[in-house]
Structure formats: structure tokens, C-alpha cells
Amino acid sequence: MMRVGVVGATGYAGLELVRLLLRHPKVKMTALTAERYVGQPIWKVFPSVMKETDLVCQPLEVEPLAQACDFLFTALPHKAAMDVVPGFIQRALKVVDLSADFRLTDPNAYEEWYEPHTAPALLKNAVYGIPELHREEIKKTFLVANPGCYPTSIILALAPALKNKLIDHRTIIADSKSGVSGAGRSAVLTSLFTEVSENFKAYKVAEHRHTPEIEQELSRLAGERVVITFTPHLVPMKRGILSTIYASLERPYSENEILDIYHNFYANEKFVRIHPPDILPGTADVLGSNYCDIGLKIDKRNKRLILLSAIDNLVKGASGQAVQNMNLMLGLEESLGIDIVPLYP
Ligand SMILES: NC(=O)c1ccc[n+]([C@@H]2O[C@H](COP(=O)([O-])OP(=O)(O)OC[C@H]3O[C@@H](n4cnc5c(N)ncnc54)[C@H](OP(=O)(O)O)[C@@H]3O)[C@@H](O)[C@H]2O)c1
């Protein structure tokens, strides 16, 4: 059985990986790391996994992890990931990194939005991990850059429209709303209950770090440089992302024509569900699952396409998609461990 480790297991994405891997039939979790919780059994940090695993959080040290594992998920903050991933790769481990560190192909773009890149040589090997778009490359690589949560929802929604040149890409506006777990588990003022509850506001308007990653992928799909307007919002809920995306149609298509194109594009995709026009996607319908639900409407008065895309930020937006990528990298059936019915209500 393949031995798998989770680096940063005490974060929200890390714990979600633990939850999914505990029920995965073809891999065995053999190591977990933390920073503040070193030496503690994970179940003491999260009683949700009591009686599920006795694994103890170990420090982030490359050599012991390389000996205990064949495959690693790194669910660390950016920068911390690129400090350790090269060491794992040198020791012949395969890695899915959930941070932003290997998502941008251009190190200059990374420097512009984050800081100087310390492992730029690996960027050419890292495959952007949206299986619905890059499945064959993911199967062959040893390093997957797992996408951001907002980008997953936006890119999957726009891919059929851009690939089929249905819209004028200069008019794209993505308006996204996220639950608070998207900000991670560290204690920050803006994530406090008093700040978040009974409140709904935008943040990082026109400067969110997911913008270059979204534009990189949309440009690949369109075959030319795409620049978008992206406005993220924080919603007082724990999980979920809903993106509402607007773009002008190149000609007056009917809703059914566009729906046909979307159904064809995702015909063989288990985790993408295209909604009929009278049912709009919502975050509650994907909770705890690896689904991305996509709905669409046309505003006939101004020939605008309106796309709606719902995911669970911790599953299709992070750890579920990471397991989907691992399955592909290990030659396993793609939906193993993530074939989950959403939790409703
Ligand atoms: N949350 C989401 O919805 C989401 C979605 C997509 C991608 N991501 C990405 O996934 C990564 C993890 O996100 P998260 O939300 O799970 O973050 P988080 O809740 O803040 O967890 C971070 C994890 O990394 C550990 N850690 C932090 N700094 C470290 C260091 N310098 N050395 C070693 N370990 C360190 C923490 O250990 P302690 O708990 O012991 O401090 C914890 O286990 C981030 O890069 C994030 O951007 C998150």
C-alpha cells in the first residue's frame, strides 16, 4: 500500500486531507506534521478524528518524512512550501503542494504578487492541478501545484466558454464569495467571529493574489492574454465558495446552445455538474463533496452570459482536488476516496 504523509496536517486543508485519506482504500497515512502541535496525537488537536488514527504530529523535517512516505501533500502557507518541496523531490517523493508556490509558471509573476521564488527550477515541472483540464500531464508529473479555491471555481466555470470563444474575454468580471475557512486556521483579526458574523464585505479588491493564477489559466484556454476583474468577498459561513461571473457574448446565443456546449465539454467529468437553467447552484448543495456545480443564464437585454459556480473550498477547492490529483499521479481510479455525496442540510 502506498505510504502517504500530510505536511501541515493541523491546518484546515491538512485536516480535510486527513479526513479523506482515512477512508481511501488504496493508500495508508504514515506521517503528519505540524508546527505548534508537534508531539501531540492529531486526535487531541481535533477530536473529530478520535478512534480514527493514532498518528502523532511530527516536526517538518525532510529526512524522516522521506523515509516514512512515498507520497506527500504539503498544506503549508506559501513560502514555507517552496522551502521544503525541493528536498522531497530530490528524495524521489511525489508531491501535491496545496500552496501558491508552484502555481505560477513565471517566477517574475510570483515575485510581483508574493516574493522572490527560491525554487524556480521546479516551476517548469509543476503541473497546474485541475484534472478536468490537465489530466494527462498530471498523470506523468512528480509535482502538482494544487489550484487555489477561488481559481478552481472561476476557471471551471469559464473553461467551456473561453475554449469555444463564446465570450469577449476583455469583459470578464468574477465576483466571488467565500466562507471563512478559506482564510486558514491561524488567529487573525479579520477572521474573528465578531468581525465576520452578521457581516458581508469585499476584501483585497483588484489586488487578490489569486488573480495571476486565474489569468494564467484563462489565457491558456483562450489562446491569448486574458485580464479579468476579480472581487472576493467574505461570507459568514464556514465552508463554500460561490462565484458569479459575467461576460459579454460574442453573438446572441440561446441558453440551450450554451448549455449543450457545457454538457459536451464536461460530458465525462464525474465532479462537474451542469445545472438546468431553472436550478441555480448553491454552496449547501456541494458541502463536503468534490463537486463543482455550474449554472448559467443569459441576460438577453444586454447579451451577457452569467455563470454561477459553487464548490466546497476545502474539498474541490483544496484537499478533495488534491486527492483527485494524487489518484492520477499514482495510476489509481480518479474518484477513490472522494466519491462523497454532499452533506445536506
Ligand atoms: N483553506 C482553504 O480553503 C484553502 C484552499 C486552497 C488552498 N489553500 C492553501 O493550502 C495551504 C494551507 O492552508 P490552510 O488554510 O490549511 O492553512 P492553516 O489552517 O493556516 O494551516 C497551516 C498548516 O501549516 C503548518 N505551518 C504553518 N507554518 C509552518 C511552518 N513555517 N513550518 C511548518 N509548518 C507550518 C501549521 O501548523 P500548526 O497548526 O501547528 O501551526 C498548519 O498545520 C495554504 O497555502 C493555503 O493557501 C487553502
CA of 210 to the centre of ligand 1 (A): 16
Are the CB atoms for 154 and 245 separated by under 8 Å?
A: yes
pTM: predicted TM-score of the whole model, two decimal places? 0.98
What's the CA gap between 123 and 125, in Å, rounded?
Answer: 5
The ligand 1 atom nearest the CA atom of 101: 45
Length of the chain as a residue count: 345
What's the CA gap between 30 and 145, in Å, rounded?
Answer: 22
Q: Is the CB of 76 within 6 Å of ligand 1?
A: yes
pLDDT score for 290 = 98
Kindly report the protein residue whose alpha carbon is nearest to atom 25 of ligand 1.
8
pLDDT (tens digit per residue) in 178-191: 999 999 999 999 99
How does residue 315 score in pLDDT terms, banded at 50, 70 and 90? Answer: very high
Q: What's the whole-number average pLDDT of the chain? A: 98
Mean pLDDT of 264-291: 97
CA of 11 to the centre of ligand 1 (A): 5
pLDDT score for 172 = 98
How does residue 65 score in pLDDT terms, banded at 50, 70 and 90? Answer: very high
149-313 CATH pick, 3.30.360.10, 3.30.1330.10, 3.30.450.20, 3.40.50.1820: 3.30.360.10
Kindly report the protein residue whose alpha carbon is nearest to atom 14 of ligand 1.
184
Q: Is the CB of 8 within 6 Å of ligand 1?
A: yes
CATH topology of domain 2-125: Rossmann fold (3.40.50)
pLDDT score for 341 = 98
pLDDT score for 93 = 98
Domain borders along the chain are: 2-125, 149-313
Q: Which three cell numbers stand for residue 138?
A: 498530471
Peptide linkage before 345 cis (omega within 30 of 0): yes
CA of 108 to the centre of ligand 1 (A): 24
Q: Which residues of 142-151 are buried (b: 16+ CB within 10 A; e: fewer)?
A: bbbbbbbbbb
In angstroms, what is the C-alpha Rg of the chain?
A: 20
Are the CB atoms for 228 and 172 separated by under 8 Å?
A: yes
Q: Is the CB of 317 within 6 Å of ligand 1?
A: yes
Mean pLDDT of 86-107: 98
Is the Cα torsion angle 284, 195, 202, 316 positive or negative in sign?
negative
